[in-house]
Protein backbone atom coordinates (compact mmCIF):
# COMPACT_ATOMS: atom_id res chain seq x y z
CA UNK A 1 0.00 0.00 0.00
CA UNK A 2 2.80 2.44 0.90
CA UNK A 3 4.50 1.86 -2.43
CA UNK A 4 1.42 2.79 -4.43
CA UNK A 5 0.85 5.86 -2.25
CA UNK A 6 4.38 7.07 -2.97
CA UNK A 7 5.64 6.51 0.59
CA UNK A 8 8.59 4.43 -0.54
CA UNK A 9 10.65 4.77 2.67
CA UNK A 10 7.74 3.42 4.74
CA UNK A 11 7.59 0.23 2.65
CA UNK A 12 10.99 -1.02 3.75
CA UNK A 13 9.88 -1.42 7.37
CA UNK A 14 6.70 -3.32 6.54
CA UNK A 15 7.70 -5.53 3.61
CA UNK A 16 8.46 -9.19 4.23
CA UNK A 17 11.09 -9.88 1.57
CA UNK A 18 10.98 -13.66 2.05
CA UNK A 19 7.34 -13.75 0.98
CA UNK A 20 7.80 -11.24 -1.81
CA UNK A 21 10.63 -13.29 -3.31
CA UNK A 22 8.25 -16.22 -3.73
CA UNK A 23 5.60 -14.35 -5.72
CA UNK A 24 7.51 -13.73 -9.00
CA UNK A 25 8.10 -17.45 -9.48
CA UNK A 26 4.51 -18.34 -8.66
CA UNK A 27 3.07 -15.67 -10.98
CA UNK A 28 5.41 -16.39 -13.88
CA UNK A 29 4.84 -20.14 -13.52
CA UNK A 30 1.08 -19.57 -13.61
CA UNK A 31 1.43 -17.38 -16.70
CA UNK A 32 3.61 -19.98 -18.40
CA UNK A 33 1.13 -22.75 -17.58
CA UNK A 34 -1.69 -20.69 -19.05
CA UNK A 35 0.41 -20.06 -22.16
CA UNK A 36 1.51 -23.69 -22.43
CA UNK A 37 -1.99 -25.14 -22.13
CA UNK A 38 -3.70 -22.62 -24.39
CA UNK A 39 -4.89 -23.65 -27.83
CA UNK A 40 -2.30 -24.02 -30.53
CA UNK A 41 1.19 -25.39 -30.57
CA UNK A 42 3.69 -24.83 -27.82
CA UNK A 43 6.90 -23.44 -29.38
CA UNK A 44 10.18 -24.99 -28.25
CA UNK A 45 11.93 -23.32 -25.33
CA UNK A 46 8.91 -21.12 -24.69
CA UNK A 47 9.56 -21.29 -20.94
CA UNK A 48 12.75 -19.19 -21.18
CA UNK A 49 11.19 -15.69 -21.22
CA UNK A 50 9.02 -16.62 -18.25
CA UNK A 51 11.94 -18.06 -16.27
CA UNK A 52 14.18 -15.06 -16.97
CA UNK A 53 11.30 -12.71 -16.17
CA UNK A 54 10.85 -14.32 -12.75
CA UNK A 55 14.59 -14.25 -12.13
CA UNK A 56 14.92 -10.56 -12.99
CA UNK A 57 11.90 -9.61 -10.88
CA UNK A 58 13.50 -11.39 -7.93
CA UNK A 59 16.82 -9.61 -8.56
CA UNK A 60 14.93 -6.30 -8.82
CA UNK A 61 13.34 -7.02 -5.46
CA UNK A 62 16.72 -7.69 -3.86
CA UNK A 63 18.13 -4.42 -5.22
CA UNK A 64 15.04 -2.36 -4.37
CA UNK A 65 16.41 -0.87 -1.12
CA UNK A 66 19.34 0.62 -3.07
CA UNK A 67 19.22 3.95 -4.84
CA UNK A 68 19.41 3.71 -8.63
CA UNK A 69 20.40 6.97 -10.32
CA UNK A 70 19.60 8.64 -6.99
CA UNK A 71 16.01 7.35 -7.00
CA UNK A 72 14.46 4.79 -4.65
CA UNK A 73 11.92 2.85 -6.68
CA UNK A 74 10.71 0.69 -3.81
CA UNK A 75 10.05 -3.04 -3.44
CA UNK A 76 7.06 -3.02 -5.81
CA UNK A 77 7.95 -0.71 -8.70
CA UNK A 78 11.56 -1.81 -9.26
CA UNK A 79 10.67 -5.51 -9.55
CA UNK A 80 7.84 -4.64 -11.95
CA UNK A 81 10.27 -2.60 -14.07
CA UNK A 82 12.80 -5.46 -13.92
CA UNK A 83 10.36 -7.74 -15.72
CA UNK A 84 10.92 -5.91 -19.01
CA UNK A 85 14.67 -6.66 -19.36
CA UNK A 86 14.06 -10.17 -18.00
CA UNK A 87 11.56 -10.99 -20.72
CA UNK A 88 13.75 -9.36 -23.36
CA UNK A 89 16.84 -11.34 -22.36
CA UNK A 90 14.81 -14.56 -22.15
CA UNK A 91 13.42 -13.97 -25.64
CA UNK A 92 16.90 -13.17 -26.96
CA UNK A 93 18.45 -16.31 -25.45
CA UNK A 94 15.56 -18.41 -26.79
CA UNK A 95 16.07 -16.90 -30.25
CA UNK A 96 19.82 -17.58 -30.17
CA UNK A 97 19.37 -21.18 -28.98
CA UNK A 98 16.80 -21.90 -31.67
CA UNK A 99 19.00 -20.28 -34.30
CA UNK A 100 22.01 -22.32 -33.09
CA UNK A 101 19.96 -25.52 -33.17
CA UNK A 102 18.74 -24.77 -36.70
CA UNK A 103 22.29 -23.95 -37.81
CA UNK A 104 23.70 -27.19 -36.39
CA UNK A 105 20.93 -29.34 -37.81
CA UNK A 106 21.57 -28.02 -41.32
CA UNK A 107 25.30 -28.87 -41.23
User: Looking at the domain assignment, is residue 1 inside a domain?
Assistant: no
Number of domains in the chain: 1
Dihedral angle of Cα 18, 62, 77, 69, to the nearest 10 degrees: 160
| Three-state SS at 71 | strand
Model pLDDT, residue 74: 83
Classify residue 92: in a domain, yes or no: yes
| In a domain? residue 67 | yes
**Residue 3 located in a structural domain:** no
The pLDDT confidence band at residue 81, using thresholds 50, 70 and 90, is very high
Helices of type H across 1-107: 8-14, 17-20, 23-36, 48-63, 74-106
pTM: 0.83
Neighbours of 83 (CB within 10 A): 18
| Residue-number span of the structural domain to which 20 is assigned | 8-106
Say what the pLDDT of residue 12 is.
Answer: 82
Residue 6 has what pLDDT?
A: 78
Which of 35, 90, 33, 34 shows the shortest CA–CA distance to 57? 90
Amino acid sequence: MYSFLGKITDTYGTVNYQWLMLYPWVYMDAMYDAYKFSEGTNPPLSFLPFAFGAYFVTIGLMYSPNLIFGISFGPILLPMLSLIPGLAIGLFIRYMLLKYKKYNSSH
